[in-house]
Chains A and B, each alone.
Chain A
Amino acid sequence: MSTQFKYWEPYVSPFDPCPPIRIKSYSTPPNLYMTFQPTGLAQFQTPREALHHGTLWPELFSPYPNPHKWGEQDG
Chain B
Amino acid sequence: MWYYEKKLQYPVKVSECNPMLAKFLIEQYGGADGELSAALRYLNQRYSIPDKVVGLLTDIGTEEFAHLEMIATMVYKLTKDATPEQMKAAGLGAHYSNHDKALYYENAAGTPWTAAYITAKGDPIADLYEDIAAEEKARATYQWIINLSDDPDLNDGLKFLREREIIHSLRFREAVEILIEERDRKKIF
CB within 8 Å of B: which residues of A?
27, 29-31, 34-39, 51-55, 60-62, 64-65
User: Which secondary structure characterizes the binding site on chain B?
Assistant: helix
User: Which secondary structure characterizes the binding site on chain A?
Assistant: loop
Partner of B169, one of A31, A38, A51: A31
Q: In the complex the two chains form, what is the Cα distance from A29 to B142 in whole Å?
A: 14
Q: In the complex the two chains form, what is the Cα distance from A39 to B163 in whole Å?
A: 20
Q: What is the size category of the interface that chain B forms with chain A?
A: 20 to 34
Q: Tell me the minimal C-beta distance from B89 to chain A in angstroms.
A: 26
Partner of B170, one of A27, A34, A52, A53: A34
Least CB separation from B189: chain A residue: A36
- Interface residue? B59 (CB, 8 A): no
Contact at A60–B167, with CB atoms within 8 Å?
yes
Q: Tell me the minimal C-beta distance from B157 to chain A in angstroms.
A: 10
Q: In the complex the two chains form, what is the Cα distance from A61 to B173 in whole Å?
A: 17
Least CB separation from B177: chain A residue: A36
- CB-CB contacts below 8 Å: B136-169 with A: 139-140, 142-143, 146-147, 159-164, 166-167, 169
